[in-house]
Amino acid sequence: MNKIRIRATLFAMGIVLALVSYFVYSIFQDKKRVLEEKTHSHRELLKNAFELSMLDTEKGLNHYACKMLSDHRIVDAFEAGDRDELYALATPYFDEAHKLGEADLTGFIKADGHHFLRLQDPKKFGDNISKKRPIIAQAIQSRRPLTSLDVTLYNISVVSIIPIFKEGRFLGIIQVASNINKIQNRLNAHSGIKSALAFDTKILHTVLPTATKLKHYKNYSIISSNHPIFENLPKDYAFDYSIRYTTEETTYIIASRELRTYTNKPLARMICALDITQDEVAYNREIRNLLLVSAVMVLALGGILHIGFKTLIRRINRKSAKLNEQLRQQLYTDSLTQLPNRKALIENIHDQKHLGILLINIDNFKEINDLYGHGIGDKLLESVGESIQKIAVIYTLALYKMPADEYALLLSDKLNTDAFDKMCHTILHSLNETYYEIDGITILATVSIGADFCLDLHCDLIGRADMALKTAKKQSLSFLKYNESLLIKEEYLNNILWSKKLKDAIDSERFVLYYQGVHNASTQEIYEYEALIRLIDTDGSIIPPNTFLEIAKKSRLYPHITDFVIRTIFQQLRTTPHSYSINLSIADILNLEMKTMLYSLLSEFDVGNRLIFEILESEGIENHTEVTDFITHVKAFGCRIAIDDFGTGYSNFAHILRLNVDFIKIDASLIKNLDVDLSAQDIVRTIVEFAHRLNIKTVAEFVHSKDVYDECQDLGIDYLQGYYLSEPKPL
């Protein structure tokens, strides 16, 4: 029990650990998701902050340029070509804008593309700037405002160009620009975003030939930055994707933004870094606290489980002995008779040496149950068990209650064969002379015995005795001892073989219908054809139904055969003008699936008036209301009903009246010797007269000779069937 307690505790702890782990994992994933959402928002912040800074810079430049151009004196001086006057008037505006951080350079450019005045460098003028900078040429040509990132003489800048008009005449343009580091400063001041400017290393010397001492990363070179982090980025960082980067104790989100010109050509990249260390610290602190709380929970629950299981095991120990005994009693004892059951018998045979066994079965126990009820049946089982127990004591036999109405007597003492046989007959005689008084009812319950006696300790006593009992029942014997000469095992093997043959034949569709004509007794013309099933063996031989039909019924393959017959007959009915009859058993009529299929086919195809169902009279059809319902149903479609093999079963004329049949097929046992058997003639004459009074047609089977044929005509039989008239064959 200590091992059980330890295992139970470990198992429970495993479950607790799993639950806590799931709990921790769920919270961990949630925290991780929150961190990722924050990181995503930081990336969005980087993107939006850069866009906002660009817009602010462009807005400031445009405001500054428009403010200058709204001073008509400046426009007049530019028109007049008075550089000194223009410089004097524009410089206050430029100084104010430069002080506010809105502009770093301002230039007035004539309509021919020559630089008229640079406020930040007034001594430098007269050069044709439109040839150096395509953006200037584009602005002069289009005469429309233009804002873009561009490389000026001094640095990369945000450039805004405004055309200058006076009284509809185009005078030139004003170029105002703000160094890119102004955007970087705005990002740092407003959002705490550090930034750097990077150029494609291959084109850097053509854009900024004076740039020196640059930090190179893969295909890019940084020309300016406002934080040391950009000096220590991973060497393979290519700036075209964002990363989380940790340096010392600080974590950054680093993302780059491609800078493009007014023609949408790549110019450079702005690399932005945002410190997210506080988010990382908060995340790690929450995870650490979560793990600590989880560890405390696991330890506390472990202690509780240990104490709880220890207490539980003590209670189980106190009750286990009693429970084990009850379980053994239920497992190895029959609940009704309290005798050892079949499981106990099998274990005893396996554990000990036994020479013989008797299987005892109560005859007609089902009928006793049906007649007196299950209460009386149960008391009879108890009484028979008591009678057998008295005999078992005399012969030192062990008694066991087998399933249903069967008992077993097991022999362990050494006996010779003669003594065993004598004992079996004595037991049989004693039991079959015993009357049982149950609730005022006297019942004589006879028994059948199947036995096996084997000196070889490896014999299958139960199996062989069961074969003997089944064979005894089949042959209407009260006692049968297993013997190899009985060929019981061979019969079982033959049944297994034919079950396999049938399964293979069904799977490979090796069934065929033969048809035998039913002839008009007066004209010998064929009235209808009876469909007869045949099996085609693998060697091509034709197997008659008496070889396999009974085995098919026992192995539950029979419905497949019925299904084949019905579907084939309906195919014949649709393609030929003949009438056909097929045989149906009680099992077929009780099969709901078969009936559903049959009713569906009758509804779909209007062929019922050419279909006859032959039902075996020997199967006790008068006991089944389902038979009456079936006959009523199919007759509504125009089908007709024949009672097959009449004269072999109950031969009860009364139930023929109730069934509303159209034909009576007189059994072959009455017809085959009809020409010489006077008793058969009397019986057949009675059947024919009875049928004709009820307007029922008669059919004689097994008409195998002219003499039988003539006698059938003399007796007034309506239709004849047999080899004398036609043999079964495929159509």
Mean pLDDT of 410-429: 86
Using alpha carbons only, give the angle 333, 335, 338 rounded to the nearest 5 degrees.
Answer: 60
Alpha helices in 333-474 (DSSP H): 342-351, 365-372, 374-395, 417-432, 461-474
Length of the chain: 731
Calpha distance 720→727 (Å, rounded): 12
Please answer whether residues 461 and 359 qualify as being in contact, where contact means their C-beta atoms are separated by less than 8 angstroms. Answer: no
For the 342-486 domain, the top CATH level (class) is alpha beta
Calpha distance 11→21 (Å, rounded): 15
| CA atoms within 13 Å, Cβ hemisphere of 126 | 2
pLDDT in tens, 251-300: 888 887 777 777 777 777 778 887 777 777 777 777 788 778 777 877 77
Calpha distance 721→731 (Å, rounded): 17
Q: Which residue has the higher pLDDT, 46 or 521?
A: 521
Instruction: Please give the DSSP secondary-structure letter assigned to residue 340.
Output: B
pLDDT at 48 over 90: no
* Percent of the chain predicted with pLDDT > 90: 31
Which pLDDT score, from 0 to 100, does residue 650 have?
Answer: 47
Whose CA is closest to 170, among 129, 83, 109, 126?
Answer: 109
Sheet holding 447-453, edge to edge: 397-401, 406-411, 356-362, 447-453, 479-481
Quick one: 477 exposed, middle or buried, by C-beta within 10 A (0-12, 13-18, 19+)?
Answer: middle
- What residue type is 532 in one-letter code? L
pLDDT band at 30 (very low <50, low <70, confident <90, very high): low
Quick one: 40 exposed, middle or buried, by C-beta within 10 A (0-12, 13-18, 19+)?
Answer: exposed
Which pLDDT score, from 0 to 100, does residue 621 have?
Answer: 61
What is this structure's pTM?
Answer: 0.43
Mean pLDDT of 247-253: 78
Provide DSSP, 573-604: HHH-S--EEEEE-HHHHH-HHHHHHHHHHHHH
pLDDT in tens, 63-110: 988 989 899 999 999 999 999 999 999 999 999 988 888 888 999 999
3-state secondary structure of 387: helix
What rounded mean pLDDT belongs to the chain?
83
497-720 has which fold? TIM Barrel (3.20.20)
Calpha distance 702→674 (Å, rounded): 10
Write down the architecture of domain 38-277 according to CATH. 2-Layer Sandwich (3.30)
pLDDT band at 179 (very low <50, low <70, confident <90, very high): confident
- The CB density around residue 456, as the number of other CB atoms within 10 Å, is 6
Quick one: 325 exposed, middle or buried, by C-beta within 10 A (0-12, 13-18, 19+)?
Answer: exposed
Please answer whether residues 1 and 313 qualify as being in contact, where contact means their C-beta atoms are separated by less than 8 angstroms. Answer: yes
Can you give the residue ranges of every domain in the chain?
A: 38-277, 342-486, 497-720
**Residues 265-283: b if buried by 16+ CB within 10 A, e if exposed:** eebbbbbbbbbbeebbeeb
pLDDT at 323 over 70: no
Calpha distance 588→659 (Å, rounded): 17
Please answer whether residues 699 and 718 qualify as being in contact, where contact means their C-beta atoms are separated by less than 8 angstroms. Answer: yes
Please answer whether residues 408 and 400 qualify as being in contact, where contact means their C-beta atoms are separated by less than 8 angstroms. Answer: yes
Calpha distance 457→349 (Å, rounded): 9
Which pLDDT score, from 0 to 100, does residue 320 have?
Answer: 64
- Which value, to the nearest 10 degrees, does the dihedral of the CA atoms of residues 307, 309, 314, 318 take? 160
Calpha distance 476→8 (Å, rounded): 59
pLDDT in tens, 216-246: 777 777 777 778 777 777 777 777 677 777 8
pLDDT in tens, 378-403: 999 999 999 999 988 888 888 999 99
pLDDT in tens, 698-727: 999 999 999 999 999 999 999 999 999 999
pLDDT band at 444 (very low <50, low <70, confident <90, very high): confident
- What residue type is 569 in one-letter code? I
Calpha distance 675→703 (Å, rounded): 10
Please answer whether residues 259 and 268 qualify as being in contact, where contact means their C-beta atoms are separated by less than 8 angstroms. Answer: yes
Whose CA is closest to 111, among 57, 62, 171?
Answer: 171
Mean pLDDT of 519-538: 92
Sheet holding 220-225, edge to edge: 215-217, 220-225, 193-200, 266-275, 250-260, 243-247
Q: Which residues contact 660 (CB under 8 A, 6 or more apart)?
A: 631, 632, 635, 641
Most confidently predicted of 176-180, 593-597, 652-656: 593-597
pLDDT band at 552 (very low <50, low <70, confident <90, very high): confident
Instruction: Please give the DSSP secondary-structure letter assigned to residue 457.
Output: T
Mean pLDDT of 637-665: 79
